[in-house]
Amino acid sequence: MGLVALADFGSTYTKVTLVDRARRRMVARAEAPTAIRTDVMEGYDAALAAARELAGAAAAPELELAVSSAGGGLRVAAVGLVGDLTAAAARQAALNAGARVEAVVSGRLGEAELAELRRTAPEIVLFAGGTDGGQRELVLANARALAGAGLRTHFVVACNRAAAAEVEGILAATGARVDVAANVMPRLGALAIEDARAAISRAFLAHVIGGKRMSTDARFTAMVRMPTPEAVLAATRLLAEGSGRRPGIGDVVVVDVGGATTDVHSSRVGEVVTPGIEQPLLPTPTTLRTVEGDLGLRAGAAGVLDADRPRLAAELGEDRAAGLDAAVARRGREPEWIPSGGEEADLDGLLATGCVGHALGRHCGKLLLTTRRDGSPCLSVDGPDLREARELIGTGGVFAHRGDARRILARALERRDPQSLAPIEPTIKVDADYILAAAGLLAEVDPELALELLERELRKN
Amino acid sequence: MSGLGIGVDLGSLLPADLPDGREAVAEGKALAAGLTREPSLFCRENGVGSEREWRERARAEGIACTCMNIGLANWPDTREAIGRIYEDALSRGVRPPDRFNLIAERRMGLPKAKRAEAPQETGPALWTEQDWHELANAAPIQPEAADNMIGGPGSVENAVDALRVGITHIGVLSQYSWRWPYWDDEVSQTMAVLKAAGLLAAFKDEGVCFDSYLEDGYPGVFHDYASYVGWSMLERHISESLIGAAYSCSWGGLTQDPVIKSAVTLALDAVNPDRVPAGFVQGDTIGNTPDFDSNMAVVSTDVLFMKMVDRRYRLGGAPIAVPVTETERIPSWQEVATVQTISRRLEEYVPMVEPSVDWGTIEAMRDRLVAGGRAFFDSALRGLAAAGIDTTDPARLLLILKRLGANRCEELFGAGEPDADFPRGRRPILQTDLVKNTMVQREELLAELGKRGGEEAIRGMKVLVSSTDVHEFASFLLASTLEAAGTDVIDFGINRDPEDIVKAVIESDADAVVVTTHNGVARSFGQRLMSELGAADAGSVPVFMGGVLNEDVDGSEIPIDVRSDLNAGGIRTPETIDRLVDALVEHRGGGVAA
């Protein structure tokens, strides 16, 4: 067992982590600009060379694996019958596969829905609808509508099992590639998205990543195993559940603050439904990814300002608060800009706290008290209960490059609403070396080593 | 972690202007100063100042006490019956009953000024001071002012009247969960109960007790006997710790198994630190059938066990022998007298049988119930406090428990381990006979349907079953029997809104929708459901509703039957499950269902 190179083709930088399997440790990490305009393997080779030099490694890695969010990532549209049932289930399957969900349409597909799909031009359409043995006529009608919509896309069919073969035939007759997966909602109250998630992943590898033309080097498509967010989710789940021979730690939450979006990944273990508290119509998967497209440190900074203006103004004081709009606008115009320190760096810290606080609040469930039509009270939850999460981990550039990463996360936790089911007293850790994506990738071949690396490399300080 | 372990504000369920219950209690206590009390005939003849004093003496001296329920069509008939029962006992050479519960007419729960205008119902009402005097002096049998006395908006007036004439066990705390006709003001009802209880508290040292009959309140629908025990601890906490009134815990009518009943009685005694004698232990009301002769076996076994437990553990209780006709009609005085005689005769057998019973098994059951009861009690107080309720204020505690409802209370605070296989989400520590009997009812329904055979016409028909409320057993019975009839049941659960049902219909392509309802929303729910189905292009799916099809509609003082409105809106309302099956068959066959 020798070196494994774990690459993450990001939209701006390509990061390479070298892991020595014999010594069971990470030996180096390096990054280089992602050469998106020429050939992304140039960036990989540069990063790999730098990492090998740091590691003093004479031999080339014997295994090279990669994740990618370059070239716009994986773009998926979700189609279902009812917005908060099969359409929501399909959307979640796509998110868990690490995709950007470009559109979610539901009901009987009409011209408005088809136009939306054409406009967003997804790389994959995840088609859902009907419980197994349930709705068939509407599902087939939607399949025929999609077939006639002129979309150039790959279909993953995860609908009523009794209609799936016919749907496949209708869509395949257009010349499109079609894969069939298990129904994302086989019966009312049951969510089963893992098969659809895996089908999306396979389609990404087989048909999407090559189509992005990011490299002419055959190594690229051979290396890439999944979209980057899927690797982060896999690492989250590995930490929570363990590797079989190595126990997990229990519930885990990871927050990934980026320039444009903030992702939250969570994994819950051994959930017990509390009697007396009603659950949502569609259950929450135990492994869950949400994406807040309006929260980020650069393109998403305007969204943070919208959500957090009074708090930001209070923190900055009147004088500095007057310049908030201009500061945020600059960030939107200059996504590559990194402040050298001082007030702008402070503002980045506050924006990051806002990203984490709001994203966590939206990801985690809330305990709701409502009144039924007969006047009786109803206690319910609308999302995952992560109050007992053992760890909250921050990942992303802001956490990798700042000394106050833990403080950002701690302050975000302090902002939780009383009704929120966000973590109460987790251990706060920082992914300073982008080990989450690398470990999630490594888990494909060596889950035990991947878990060891996570336990060792995620920092408390 | 408890679902109520975080800051959900249950206080938002309480009116913002809810007065402080402690002030109402203090007002009640202040009323005592102007109240003159006379001893009842029973107390005079037995030389005691209160029923509690008598029961404690009886406990110490091994005197077996008995109780009866009495409430004929009106007070004069009831008064005469009491006298006749007393004389009958003497004529047979048996000791007459020690006490009786007056089962008063429901209007007694209203303030006096409102009683005349409310509709008359069956049962004795006490209109004058003379009526009250007679209640306590018709015969040397100690009355309890029970049903419809304390619990409703007329609580204070009833408490004053009862105390004046020498009644010293006054109830019924658990009836606070009831609603009286033409009275929707829960705040004034709460204050009236607390003021009345405060008045009782002022006479605690003179033996006055605040009685509760658990099955009249939430325990009557609990699935776990441990919840019974926990609920009694909650009531005791409210009565004794927060108000200062001695709490008497009566129970027993919905339990048939005498071994379980013995264990629960002992558990309730174990959580009664001052050993306040329970007003009564109600006899079994669910074991009886229309066969009156066979009911003799029920009353005999039931009373024998109640008396054995009482004697062995010196509880100072007063078992009620249930007349064999009670499930079919109001018993005559003769029928009450007959079972009182049986009850007294059984006392001969108690010392013969009691030493041979395996009390260890019963005590072990008791101990599990006590542990579970304490867990329920702790969970309730902690959870409510964490959810923003001032649990030191009896008004807030009473009203929040009322507004949460029985099912929710047991789900949230129950001591059983969470287990989705059980209707309330918890595995009961000791399952109640209510649950057991529902399962028996299900088997009987299935057997009946089995006789008509599976219906080919509806085989594989997708029927979506749901409920507007928390009555899980109605939905459960419906789903079970429709499945047995051959349909493909889609069990959509309880507490559903019309919009959710429509979503489920779209995804499942259900062939029919069946909704049970018991919470007074039948018409508005049905109308909304039909409207939403139409908007979703699913208006051709037939809808059936059953249960309690009523609603408070504009201009009505009480909920009215809305069946005709539902039928006019296209919703079918078959009266039984059998007729529902017929209607489904007819629909499938293209006929017009009844």
pLDDT in tens, A88-132: 999 999 999 999 999 999 999 999 999 999 999 999 999 999 999
> Is the residue at B309 inside a domain?
yes
Contact pairs from chain A to chain B, CB under 8 Å: 121
Closest chain A CA to residue B409:
A276
B503 touches chain A (CB under 8 A): yes
Instruction: Return the number of other C-beta atoms located less than 10 Å from residue A49's C-beta.
Output: 13
Q: Which of A188, A367, A378 sits opposite B504 (nearest CB)?
A: A188
- At a CB cut-off of 8 Å and minimum separation 6, what does B429 contact? B224, B225, B226, B368, B369, B372, B415, B416
Helical H segments across A364-429, by residue range: 397-401, 405-414
> Is the residue at B394 inside a domain?
no
Per-residue pLDDT at B442: 82
Asked whether the beta carbons of B148 and B109 are under 8 A apart, the reply is yes
Q: What value of ipTM does the predicted structure carry?
A: 0.88
B7 touches chain A (CB under 8 A): yes
Asked if the model's pLDDT at residue A461 lies above 60, the reply is no
* B330 and B465 belong to one structural domain: no
Per-residue pLDDT at A169: 98
**Inter-chain CB proximity A373 and B1 less than 8 Å:** no
Q: Is A18 left (phi over 0), alpha (psi -120 to 50) or beta?
A: beta
> Is the residue at B362 inside a domain?
yes
Asked whether the beta carbons of B419 and B427 are under 8 A apart, the reply is yes
Q: Which of A374, A378, A379 sits opposite B520 (nearest CB)?
A: A374
Residue owning tokens 């950007």:
A100
Residue owning tokens 């008004």:
B395
Q: What is the mean pLDDT of residues A155-163?
A: 98
Q: In what order do the strands lie in the sheet with B169-170?
A: B67-70, B99-103, B142-147, B169-170, B209-213, B246-250
* B350 and B444 belong to one structural domain: no
**Inter-chain CB proximity B9 and A188 less than 8 Å:** no
**Inter-chain CB proximity A135 and B509 less than 8 Å:** yes
CATH code of the domain in which B550 resides: 3.40.50.280
Sketch the domain layout of chain A as residue ranges: 3-71, 75-210, 238-297+352-457
Pairing of strands A391-395, A427-430: parallel
* B138 and B287 belong to one structural domain: yes
Instruction: Return the number of other C-beta atoms located less than 10 Å from residue B20's C-beta.
Output: 15
In the structure encoding, which two tokens stand for residue A238, read together? 């590995």
Which residues are bridge partners to B437 per DSSP? Answer: none
Candidates A188, A281, A368, partner chain B, best to mutate (most B CBs within 10 A): A188
User: By residue range, what is the domain housing residue B549?
Assistant: 435-589
* B169 and B313 belong to one structural domain: yes
**Inter-chain CB proximity A272 and B418 less than 8 Å:** yes
- At a CB cut-off of 8 Å and minimum separation 6, what does A404 contact? A349
Q: Is the peptide bond before B165 cis (omega within 30 degrees of 0)?
A: no
Q: Give the orientation angle of helix B258-270 with respect to helix B225-236, to 10 degrees.
A: 30
> Is the residue at B260 inside a domain?
yes
**Inter-chain CB proximity A130 and B508 less than 8 Å:** yes
pLDDT tens per residue across span A6-23: 999 988 889 999 999 999
**Inter-chain CB proximity B490 and A188 less than 8 Å:** yes
SS3 call for B329: coil
Which residues are bridge partners to A65 per DSSP? Answer: A6
* B70 and B176 belong to one structural domain: yes
* B255 and B116 belong to one structural domain: yes
One fold for both A3-71 and A238-297+352-457? yes
CATH superfamily assigned to domain A238-297+352-457: ATPase, nucleotide binding domain (3.30.420.40)
> Is the residue at B4 inside a domain?
no
Strands (E) across A36-85 are located at 63-68, 75-79
* pLDDT averaged over 10-residue windows placed end to end, chain B, 594 residues: 58 91 98 96 98 97 96 94 97 96 95 90 92 97 97 97 98 93 90 98 98 96 96 98 98 96 98 97 93 96 98 96 90 94 96 95 98 97 93 97 92 91 88 87 80 77 90 82 89 90 97 91 94 95 93 72 94 92 85 45
pLDDT tens per residue across span A388-397: 999 999 998 8
* B568 and B458 belong to one structural domain: yes
B1 touches chain A (CB under 8 A): yes
Question: What residue type is assigned to position B426 of the chain?
Answer: R
Per-residue pLDDT at A272: 67
> Is the residue at B2 inside a domain?
no
- Rounded Cα gap, residues B31 and B107, in angstroms: 24
Give DSSP secondary structure letters for B257-309.
-HHHHHHHHHHHHHT-TT-PPPS-BPPPSSS--S-HHHHHHHHHHHHHHHHHH
Per-residue pLDDT at B568: 95
- Rounded Cα gap, residues B339 and B337, in angstroms: 6
- When divided into structural domains, chain B yields a total of 2
**DSSP state for residue B535 in the 8-state scheme:** H
Burial (CB < 10 A; 0-12, 13-18, 19+), residue B116, is exposed
B540 touches chain A (CB under 8 A): no
**DSSP state for residue A292 in the 8-state scheme:** E
Phi and psi (nearest 5°) for A378?
-130, 120
Instruction: Return the number of other C-beta atoms located less than 10 Å from residue A456's C-beta.
Output: 12
**DSSP state for residue B242 in the 8-state scheme:** I
Residue owning tokens 């899980």:
B472
Candidates A86, A379, A381, A390, partner chain B, best to mutate (most B CBs within 10 A): A379
Q: What is the mean pLDDT of residues A249-267?
A: 95
The average confidence (pLDDT) of chain B is 92
Listed residue (B223, B241, B189) closest to B381, CA to CA: B241
Specify the DSSP element, H or E, that contains A378.
Answer: strand A377-381
Asked whether the beta carbons of A386 and A251 are under 8 A apart, the reply is yes
**Inter-chain CB proximity A377 and B420 less than 8 Å:** no
Listed residue (A302, A292, A224, A234) closest to A258, CA to CA: A292
> Is the residue at B315 inside a domain?
yes
- At a CB cut-off of 8 Å and minimum separation 6, what does A181 contact? A156, A157, A158, A195, A196, A198, A199
B12 touches chain A (CB under 8 A): yes
Question: What residue type is assigned to position A419 of the chain?
Answer: Q
In the structure encoding, which two tokens stand for residue B306, read together? 């109640």
Q: What is the value of pTM for the model shown?
A: 0.83
SS3 call for A140: helix
> Is the residue at B116 inside a domain?
yes
Listed residue (A261, A293, A295) closest to A11, CA to CA: A261
CATH superfamily assigned to domain A3-71: ATPase, nucleotide binding domain (3.30.420.40)
Q: Name which CATH class applies to A75-210.
A: alpha beta
**Inter-chain CB proximity A379 and B504 less than 8 Å:** no
**Inter-chain CB proximity B493 and A189 less than 8 Å:** yes
Pairing of strands B209-213, B246-250: parallel
Per-residue pLDDT at B5: 55
Phi and psi (nearest 5°) for A32?
-150, 155
pLDDT tens per residue across span B285-312: 999 999 999 999 999 999 999 999 999 9
Per-residue pLDDT at B594: 43
Give DSSP secondary structure letters for B425-476.
SB--SSB-HHHHHHHHHHHHHHHHHHHH---GGGTT-EEEEEESSS-HHHHH
